[in-house]
Structure 1
Amino acid sequence: MKLRCTLDFLLYDWLDAQALNQRERFADHSRETFDAVLDTCERIAREKYAPFNRTVDTEEPRFDGEKVILPKATHEAHAAFAASGMLSAAQDYEIGGMQLPYTVQAAANSFFAMASVSIGSGMLTSGNANLLMVHGTPMQQEVFAKNEFSGRWSGTMCLSEPQAGSSLSDVATRAVPDGDDFQNDPLGPRYRLTGNKMWISAGDHELTENIVHIVLAKIPDADGRLIPGTRGISLFIVPKRMVNTQGELTGERNDVALAGLNHKLGWRGTTNTLLNFGEGKYPVGGKAGAVGYLVGEPGKGLHCMFHMMNEARIGVGTAATMLGMAGYYASLDYAKNRPQGRPVGVGGKDASQPQIRIIEHADVKRMLLAQKSYCEGALALELYCARLVDEQKTGEAQAVDDARLLLEVLTPIAKSWPSEWCLEANSLAIQIHGGYGYTRDFPVEQYWRDNRLNMIHEGTHGIQATDLLGRKVLMENGRGLQLLAGRINATIERAIQVPALAVHANALGQALQQVGAATKAAWATGNPADALANAVPYMQAFGHTVLAWIWLDVVLATQRTGAAESAAFRAGKLGAMTYFYRYELPKIGAWLKVVETRDLTCAELPEEAF
């Protein structure tokens, strides 16, 4: 119930999601239909996901030589999720969608992420299909995307390679035309792929009758050489099983073989694989090489893939947020029920007095407030980004462009900030449980393990930071940063009129100035090596400033006349915001100091000194 109250407040009182119904695309909907979707997803998450979160952690996927075996609970959860229609919730009616606002879809999916992120909610499948709806041909959309949206097939994203990791310019997977008439296949120009892909989530399983791999590969030049860098990268649909133009399985396996399962610290319920493409284990038509269909133009693979990558990054941020939230709720419940210690009075502790619950200790309240400020703030940020997606799709012309640019700037924060600070929330949840938190008798240790992946998942912390400082705040002459500053200043102007919030408004204004000054100072020499040496501290300060803004804006929403929330609810929001401003926002000074001075302590230390 606590999560639902928070979601309702953020959706309706803060983001005014019901106003989207005034737009033609969402005209058939009302708050009642939105609530019905939330109710359904909350119920499925409660019945099919949450009871089995520990099961999928202990009964890891295994390969019997022919197929990957998953617990029965995973099959049942996937079937229930697919039947709910959530894979295509934001899509057009014509392809079986609900034409829901993405904001509502994102809020509904948060139930699954909190109940069992390891079972999953089809993030890569919907992202794969969404990519094809933008960059695929009508036939590719009909055959592949629609079958993914229905839940009949699932999807993956195949980028990383064992020797390249996140360095996509070093991708070595090759794609060569499959015969002289390769351009004439109705499913798209047909190629044969050879290579290896690593860290492929849901890369092999029996949950669906087919798996649609979206694969980055390079097309050799006329001399058979791979073009260095990212210019030669193209994007391909590589199905696990071959299909015809009616979306029917032909009975033939594609030349994609499972080379092994990765056994991870967390997310153990999701298969994570090494895939070999074109090794000849399953030759198609008697020939080695995995059959792949070109998506978009040759050499434009990264441009297409970024559509899916950016969506996945927000999805990872949401997953991190909800894992943090799960730990917060668990530690809050524990703190309310665990007796330990006695109050400290003027004369010290009185051992004759009964024990008090640990939530009555100031330091435990500090840890709970930290978790609340991180997780509820991060949830608000993720939903704000989802609202920008709706604005980009259905707003007026200027609003569409502004939303696009704001999303560019905020996506690295939406992915990275929760993955760092909601992980810290999970650590605090363990701390509140004491020694019990370190055991498998309580769920908080699993939440931490599951969350630790998210600082790496879909682009490491360092990659997100380099993207933010090296590209996003500079693009279009800094217009995205200016747009964000404009929205932050609008919140400051409203908050400064509220006496209880004026001091926080001023603090936010100062933080915004510090970020702006540090951005300029970082690039003062024009040398990327100088600017990016401290990209992660920059991102941490930038993220904290964004979250301070989000919190101030959220608390302003609680001040509106007629707010339905209880006094305790409003006090909780105000307390979390106050904690963030007093304990967290001051940290940005130290982070930005090394950015402003272009400190090279880390960059210049010789290897042998380590």
Structure 2
Amino acid sequence: MSFRPTLDFLLYDWLDAESLNGRERFADHSRETFDAVLDTCERIAREKYAPANRIVDTQEPRFDGERVILPQATHDAHAAFAASGMLSAAQDYEIGGMQLPYTVQAAANSFFAMASVSIGSNLLTSGNANLLLVHGTPMQQEVFAKNEFSGRWAGTMCLSEPQAGSSLSDVVTRAVPDGDGFEADPLGPRYRLTGNKMWISSGDHELTENIVHIVLAKIPDAQGKLVPGTRGISLFIVPKRMVDTAGALTGERNDVALAGLNHKLGWRGTTNTLLNFGEGRFPVGGQAGAVGYLVGQPGKGLHCMFHMMNEARIGIGMAASMLGMAGYEASLAYARQRPQGRPVGPAGKDAAKPQVRIIEHADVRRMLLAQKSYCEGALALQLYCARLVDEQKTGAAGPGGVADDARLLLEVLTPIAKSWPSEWCLEANSLAIQVLGGYGYTRDFPVEQYWRDNRLNMIHEGTHGIQAADLLGRKVLMEEGRGLSLLADRIADTARRASAVPALADDARALTDALAQVQSATRAAWSTGEPRDALANAVPYMQAFGHTVLAWIWLDLAHRSLHGGNAAVTDPATVGRLGAASYFFRYELPKIGAWLRVVETRDPTCAELPEEAF
């Protein structure tokens, strides 16, 4: 995996991850321990994940009526990952963690996403356990979270329902108190759940001895009715198999039944399920209804769940980035060895001369450089967000402190961290297919699988449109726009520093202009105060916002590559990085003008076209 030098540059030269060792939480670590973790994960990904990527794509999960069958390669990869300790890498020593910076954990997980995204790095298991560390009771943390972090149990996130995909206000899964003494259960207030959940990744399998479902459901009111909207949604732990307070299996199945497997375009190695809760197939204590334990307060389920959803969104952004990177490396290797055509010159093409490799053609270089700018820029953004997580957890506290600023910046950047790679690294995968030509869409080469796997990420963990509405409708407005102001200050600081370097001065001006356009469009979109007007063009707004953020990232990377000066650059990696930055500013950033024009004018074309006109 030749992207390791790129990862090292981002981690150490740009983000200065080593400096985190000066903080008490990370004091036991050094560059050597960080590198050891990266080396271990790179080896496991190379030996256990990459060889299985095609296997898990062609040997999809199947249900024999009793259990889900997965290829042995998936079991071997999961066992190796669990044994590495990476599920709890960033957690406290007291619960079996390594107390690694999250920045390093995210960097290490990138190897698994690149090697086989549909085997993956147990994103939902760690997110599930992290949610319980924040919102669960001490007993729930001891029994459920710790067993997930150890790899003994797996975790899921159960939000969507067949009739309510992204519209969580329409959830109808019910949770009723399990008898008069329901509040006395040591694992938490005990309820019985009935309902159906759809699109549940890893919803059933035999990789672990238990699966911990985190389920959104509504508690009926005194009249037995469900409260409309999201106010009545609560959150529950629903284990596949019943457990006691020591974390031991009781031998009894919970009333959670696999109703079917979804067969997807990509991520085919991941079991994706429809689950029935409380249908009576596995009655607990002779009674129908899946047993669930309340997490947090009744009616506060979405507040708790967003902790996991935001973590998952950044994880999806990393997956999309690394799928793009995998396609880039495959198409680059192909372009370097595939002979076709002859150079264009004054004498025209001479058929008697030998063919040239396709990387010598300008258009192929354009496609390769586009991929490089998308994928390396996206990876940098993911690691920057991971560094913000460390700042939020270990930086100076208090209003306006480092930790609070990091929290708010992360709120604003999360929709971009999820959406931008899922759109533009997918485009990188499309370009990888194009580089290979006819071979690109055959299964003789892996690039078609990378595209299929990546196409799901615009839908995973909140669709593109939802991310756009979240960004323009909430994130840039929250706390009176302070998050947007913080981001603007950081962008302006990079532009100021880069403007002092003649080689970067034009790009610094272009970035300053782009930021001004985004700020102006934000004001214009909300000038009527009507959400319907503002959000009609939320996706073009998000595209422009994302391109501006990535231009900022690239300018900062270019400035760091030049060490703030103008020394002659000969190192190929640095030349490539500067070339990718130049490509982004010449070919990509100018696109924001078209996107923002419809935002500024609150163009009604899409919103007002009559249905019959379609």
TM tier, smaller: over 0.9
How far the C-alpha of 1:466 sits from its partner, in A, is 0.1
Task: Report the equivalent of 2:45.
Answer: 45
Choose from 581, 584, 593 the match for 2:588.
Answer: 584
Amino acid at match of 2:87: L
Range with greater deviation from structure 2 (539-548 or 554-563): 554-563
Shift of 1:16: 0.3
Q: CA deviation at 1:349?
A: 1.0
TM-score by length of 2: 0.99
2:414 alignment counterpart: 411
- Map of 1:490 onto structure 2: 493
SS at match of 1:349: coil
CA distance in 2, matches of 1:118, 1:298: 34
Letter in 1 for 2:281: K
2:257 match: secondary structure: strand
1:572 aligns with 2:558: no
- The SS at the match of 2:339 is coil
Amino acid at match of 2:480: N
Code of the residue aligned with 2:475 in structure 1: it is: K
One-letter code of the match for 1:577? A
Matches within 5 A, 1:232-243: 232-243=232-243
> Given residue 609 of structure 1, which amino acid in structure 2 is its aligned partner?
A
Match of 1:366 in 2: 366
What residue in structure 1 maps to residue 286 of structure 2? 286
Tell me if 1:216 matches 2:216.
yes
Alignment partner, residue 180 of structure 2: 180
From the superposition, tell whether residues 566 and 124 of structure 1 become closer, same or farther in structure 2 (CA, over 3 Å).
farther
Amino acid at match of 1:567: D
Q: Secondary structure at the match of 2:206?
A: coil
Q: Which residue of 2 aligns with 1:468?
A: 471
* Counterpart secondary structure, 2:364: helix
**Helix, strand or coil at the partner of 2:276:** strand
Shift of 1:567: 1.1
2:255 counterpart of 1:255:
yes
Worse-superposed segment, 344-353 or 18-27: 344-353
Corresponding residue number in structure 2 for 1:598: 602
Measure the CA separation in 1 of the matches of 2:51 and 2:170: 42
**Alpha-carbon distance in structure 1 between the residues aligned to 2:121 and 2:17:** 23
Does the CA contact (< 8 Å) of 2:256 and 2:275 recur in 1?
Answer: yes
Name the aligned partner's letter for residue 86 of structure 2: M
1:291 & 1:79 partners in 2: Cα distance?
A: 29
Structure 2 counterpart of 1:545? 548
1:534 Cα deviation (Å)? 0.2
Shift of residue 347, structure 1, vs aligned partner: 2.4
- Return the alpha-carbon distance in structure 2 between the equivalents of residues 601 and 447 of structure 1: 35
Aligned to 1:120: 120
Q: Give the superposed CA RMSD.
A: 1.1
Letter aligned with residue 586 of structure 1: P
Give distance in 2, aligned partners of 1:447 and 1:4: 19
Question: Whole-Å Cα distance in 2 between the matches of residues 593 and 561 of structure 1?
Answer: 34
Deviation per CA, 1:451-507: give whole Å up to 9, x if none: 000000000000000000000000000000000000000000100000000000000
1:501 aligns with 2:504: yes
Query: SS of 2:3's equivalent?
Result: helix
Q: SS where residue 211 of structure 2 aligns? A: strand
1:481 is matched with which residue?
A: 484
CA distance in 1, matches of 2:570, 2:293: 56
What is the rounded CA distance, in whole Å, between the counterparts of 1:558 and 1:605 in structure 2?
49
- Deviation of 1:4 after TM superposition, in Å, equals 0.7
Note closer, same or farther for the CA distance 1:552–1:561 as it changes in structure 2 (3 Å cut): closer
Amino acid in structure 2 at the alignment position of 1:580: F
How far did residue 566 of structure 1 move?
A: 6.5
Which residue is equivalent to 1:422?
Answer: 425
For residues 15 and 267 of structure 1, what CA distance do their matches in structure 2 show?
31
User: For the residues of structure 2 that align with 1:416 and 1:174, how far apart are their CA atoms?
Assistant: 32
- Separation in 1, partners of 2:353, 2:3: 36
Which of residues 446, 452, 455 in structure 2 aligns to 1:452?
455
2:498–2:564 contact (8 Å) kept in structure 1: no
Distance 2:572 2:57 in 1: 36
CA distance in 1, matches of 2:564, 2:366: 30
1:296 maps to 296
Give the gaps of 5 or more residues in structure 2: none
Aligned to 1:316: 316
Report sequence identity in percent: 85
1:385-396 aligned at under 5 Å gives the runs: 385-396=385-396
Instruction: For 2:403 and 2:176, locate their aligned partners in 1 and report how far apart those are by CA, in whole Å.
Output: 39
Question: Which residue in the other structure is 2:33 paired with?
Answer: 33
Q: SS of the residue aligned with 1:258?
A: strand
User: For 2:121, what is the secondary structure of its paired residue?
Assistant: coil
The Cα of 1:346 is off from its aligned counterpart by: 1.1
Matched to 2:202, the amino acid is: A
Query: What is the CA-CA distance between 1:437 and the residue it aligns to?
Result: 0.3
User: Match of 1:343?
Assistant: 343
- Measure, in 1, the Cα distance between the counterparts of 2:381 and 2:348: 43
Please tell me whether the aligned partners of residues 501 and 564 of structure 2 are also in contact (alpha carbons under 8 angstroms).
Answer: no
* Residue of structure 1 equivalent to 2:265: 265
The one-character-per-residue Cα deviations of 1:422-450 (angstroms, maximum 9, x if unpaired) are 00000000000000001000000000000
**1:441 match:** 444
Whole-Å separation in 1 of the counterparts to 2:342 and 2:94: 64
Quote the Cα distance in structure 2 between the aligned partners of 1:569 and 1:322: 18
* Residue 508 (structure 2) pairs with residue 516 (structure 1): no
Corresponding residue of 2:136: 136
Deviation at 1:74, TM superposition (A): 0.1
Which SS does the other structure have where 2:194 is aligned? strand
Q: Residue 101 of structure 1 corresponds to which residue in structure 2?
A: 101
1:265-289 deviation digits (Å, cap 9, x = unpaired): 0000000000000000000000000
In the alignment, is the contact (CA less than 8 A) between 2:125 and 2:148 conserved in 1?
yes
Offset, 1:561: 7.6
- Is 2:611 aligned against 1:607? yes
- Where does the alignment leave 5 or more consecutive residues of structure 1 unmatched? none
Distance of 2:181 and 2:487 partners within structure 1? 50
- Partners of 2:453 and 2:68 lie apart in 1 by 21
Instruction: Tell me how far 1:317 sits from its aligned partner.
Output: 0.3
Residue type at the aligned position of 1:464: Q
Paired positions, count: 610
| 1:170-218: CA deviation from partner (whole Å, max 9, x where unpaired) | 0000000000000000000000000000000000000000000000000
CA offsets, 1:207-266, max 9 Å, x none?
000000000000000000000000000000000000000000000000000000000000
**Residues 32 and 482 (structure 1 numbering): CA distance in 2 closer, same or farther, change over 3 Å?**
same
1:298 is displaced (CA, Å) by 0.3
